[in-house]
Chain A
Amino acid sequence: MSNKKQNRDFCGRVRREFLWQTGAGFGAVALSSLLEADGFFGSKAMGDDNLSSANPLAVKPPHFAPKAKSVIFLFMYGGPSHIDTFDEKPDMNGKDGQTITVKTFGRGGHRNQGRIVEPRWKFKKYGECGKSVSDLFPNLGTCVDDIAFLHSMTADSPIHGSAMLMMNSGKILSGSPALGSWVNYGLGTVNQNLPGFVVMLDPTGGPISGAKNWSSGYMPATYAGTVLRSKGTPILDLTPPEGTSREVQRTMLDTLGEINGRHLSSNAENADLAARISSYELAYKMQEHAPEATDLSDEDEETTKLYGLDNPKTEDFARRCMIARRLVERGVRCIQLYSGGNHNDANWDAHGDLEKNHNKHAGATDQPIAALLKDLKRRGMLDSTLVVWGGEFGRQPTAEYAKGTGRDHNSYGFTMWMAGGGIKGGVSVGSTDELGSTAVEKPLHVKNLHATILNQLGLDPNRLSYFYSGLDQKLVGVEHVDPIQDVIA
C-alpha cells in the first residue's frame, strides 16, 4: 500500500520536513512555535499517540459528568417503515389504494403523488404513557415507559450508501470517522483488553458502504470499529495454534514489535504502520479476554429464554444482544448491532412485500431488544447505557410500484428511539404529517441525534473536535448543533 495514497497531511509532508525545507534556524523555530500555538500543525492526537509508548485509547476525562458510559446502537439496516411500527397514522385507515398528492423522494426519484399503502398492522396502546405501537413490536410495547421516541427525524439522503454514512459518521461522503470512533477518541476505552468500538453484523452480510460505516476516517486507525462475527465463534483464530503457548507468542510479538519499531522510526508519518503494531497488541489481549466476553454459557436459562436464544427465529439477534450487554459490562464504549444485511428483503428495505419483510425482521428482533432493555434495567445498567434504535431513513406512505405494498425510502421524516443513559422514558418528540411523509413538528436531524448521544456520554458535541485538513472537524459539522433537550432527563 503506497504511503502517498494514505498520506493525509495537507502538503504531503510532515511538520518537521516542512520546517527543514523552509529554512531551519531560530526563525523557523519561532515561527513553528507561533503556528503550533495557533493550532496550525496537526492535532496532538495524530502526533505521537500512535507509537507504542503512548496509548491513543487511554481513558480521557469527559467534558462534563456523563449519564451514560456506553452506547448500544441497534441499527435497523434498510430503513424500517415508521408508519408501520411506531408512528401511527390513523388518517390512513380506509384509504388504502387511493391516489394522493404528496411530495416524496426515494430511489425512484422525486414524485408528486402516489398510491396510499395503509399500515398493514394494527396499533395498540401500551404502558403508563399510553404510547401506540404496532403489532410488529408487542414485546417492545411493554417497554415504552423507558423509551423516548423521535418521530421527526430527517436526513440528507434517501439512498442507502450515503444515508448509511450520514447515520454512522455524520456526512454523506465517506472519509469521516464513525460515531464509535468519536466516542473512543473523546473518552478512550475503559477496558484495554477489548476493542472500544465493536460492530456485529447480520449473518446475511454487511450493509452498503461496508467498512466505511465503522471507519476511523481521518483519525488513527486504532479508533476504527472491530467487527465480531455473529455466526460461530465471534472472533476467528482467537486461539493460538497448538504448540504456541501464550509466552511463546509474547516472545514472537516482542520481536515483531522490535523490527516493526525500527521500520516505523523511518516512516513516522504512516499512521497505518503504527495502528497495525497496536492491533497486534490488542489481538494479544483479546485472545485472553474476548472468549469469556463472548461466551454465553454462564448465562442462566431464564435470561437466555428472555432474549429468545432458544428460538431459531430470534436466536441470532438474541445472541448479539446478549453479547452487547456483556461487552458493556466489560467496559466497551460503543457497540453497533446490525439487524438486516446484504440486499433487499435480507434487511428492512421493504420495496417488495412490506408485510413479509417487516414480519420477518420485527419477528427476529422484537423480543431480543425488549429483553435487552429489561435485562439492562434489572441489572441496574440501563441508567448508564444508552440504547439507540433506528435505520438510515424511514419509508414512504405511498407505494413504490403500480402493484404491491412495497414502500420506497423516506428521509424527509422517520422514527428512531432512545432509551437509557439519562434519556426520559415514556415521551415522544416531534411528528410527521398525517401520512408520515415529512417531519412537520420539531424536525430533528441526524446531527441532533449524534449531539444527543455525545451529550449523554459527557461530551460536548460542539467542542469535541479533531483537527484535520485545516479544520477542527466535529461529528456534528461546522455549525452549532443542540442535543434534543426534550428527551434528556
Chain B
Amino acid sequence: MMLAFDFPETDISCEARFLTTQPAQALTMLNSDWMQMQARNLFARIKLEVGDDLAAQTRRALELCISREPLDEDVDELMALTNRLVNEHNLEQSKAREAMCLVALNLNQFLYLD
C-alpha cells in the first residue's frame, strides 16, 4: 500500500513527497486484501452507529469518508448501487453493503483534501 502511494526512500531527506497517479494505485484501492478489510470494518462501524437502514448507512458512509454533509445525489447513487448489486448481481445484502463502503473509500473526495 505504502509503495503504491509513493513511499519515499528513508535514507535521504524528503522535503515534500512526490505524488503520482497510477493505475496500480487504483488496483490496490479496489482489490487488495487490506482494502477489503477496511471496507468490512467501515460497514461494521456504520451498522453499529446507524442501524440497518440502507439510506442511513449510505449517508453515514459518505459522511465518514468525506467529512462533510454529502450531496443527496451521492447518497442516492450509493443506495442504487447497493440495490443493483443485490438485485441484478445476486450479491448477499451484507456483501453488497461492504462493496458500497469500498466505493466510498475509493472516492476522490476521500483521498484528496480540497
Binding site for B on A (CB under 8 A): 1-3, 174, 195, 210-212, 215, 221-222, 224, 226-227, 235-241, 243-245, 247-249, 251-252, 255-256, 258-260, 262-264, 267, 270, 272-273, 275-277, 279-280, 282-283, 286-287
Known pairs A226-B22, A283-B27; list 15 more (Cβ under 8 Å): A210-B9, A210-B18, A211-B18, A237-B32, A240-B31, A245-B89, A248-B99, A252-B30, A255-B77, A259-B109, A260-B107, A264-B108, A272-B112, A276-B111, A279-B22
**Does any Cβ of A come within 8 Å of B113's Cβ?**
yes
Interface size class of B (residues with CB under 8 A): 35 or more
**Does any Cβ of A come within 8 Å of B95's Cβ?**
yes
Q: Are B108 and A1 in contact, CB atoms less than 8 angstroms apart?
A: no
**In the bound complex, what is the Cα–Cα distance between A400 and B70 (angstroms)?**
63
Q: Which residues of A contact B91 (CB under 8 A)?
A: 243, 248
Q: Which residues of A contact B49 (CB under 8 A)?
A: none
Q: Are A286 and B23 in contact, CB atoms less than 8 angstroms apart?
A: yes
Instruction: Tell me, rounded to whole Å, the shortest Cβ–Cβ distance linking A278 to chain B.
Output: 8
Q: Which residues of B contact A264 (CB under 8 A)?
A: 108
**In the bound complex, what is the Cα–Cα distance between A171 and B16 (angstroms)?**
20
**In the bound complex, what is the Cα–Cα distance between A272 and B112 (angstroms)?**
9
Q: Are A280 and B26 in contact, CB atoms less than 8 angstroms apart?
A: yes
Q: Which 4 A-B pairs have the closest CB atoms?
A: A283-B26, A237-B31, A221-B21, A283-B23
**In the bound complex, what is the Cα–Cα distance between A243 and B77 (angstroms)?**
22
Within 8 A of A (CB), among B45-62: none
Q: Of B23, B32, B88, B113, which contacts A195 at CB under 8 A?
A: B23
Q: Which residues of B contact A247 (CB under 8 A)?
A: 89
Instruction: Tell me, rounded to whole Å, the shortest Cβ–Cβ distance linking A424 to chain B.
Output: 37
Q: Which residues of A contact B21 (CB under 8 A)?
A: 221-222, 224, 272, 275-276, 279
**In the bound complex, what is the Cα–Cα distance between A240 and B91 (angstroms)?**
15
28 contacts between A and B (CB under 8 A): A1-B112, A174-B18, A210-B18, A215-B20, A221-B20, A227-B22, A236-B4, A237-B24, A239-B31, A240-B31, A241-B36, A243-B91, A247-B89, A249-B30, A252-B81, A252-B99, A255-B103, A256-B103, A256-B107, A259-B107, A270-B112, A272-B112, A273-B108, A279-B22, A280-B23, A280-B106, A283-B26, A287-B27
Query: Which chain B residue shows the least CB distance to A6?
Result: B19
Q: Which residues of A contact B28 (CB under 8 A)?
A: 236-237
Q: Which residues of B contact A262 (CB under 8 A)?
A: 71, 73-74
Chain B 70-82 near chain A by CB (<8 Å), digits 1 or 0: 0101100110110
Q: Which residues of A contact B30 (CB under 8 A)?
A: 237, 240, 249, 252, 280, 283
Query: Which chain B residue shows the least CB distance to A240?
Result: B31
**In the bound complex, what is the Cα–Cα distance between A446 and B74 (angstroms)?**
50
Q: Are A279 and B19 in contact, CB atoms less than 8 angstroms apart?
A: no
Q: Which residues of B contact A260 (CB under 8 A)?
A: 107-109
Query: Which chain B residue shows the least CB distance to A275?
Result: B21
Q: Which residues of B contact A248 (CB under 8 A)?
A: 85, 89, 91, 99
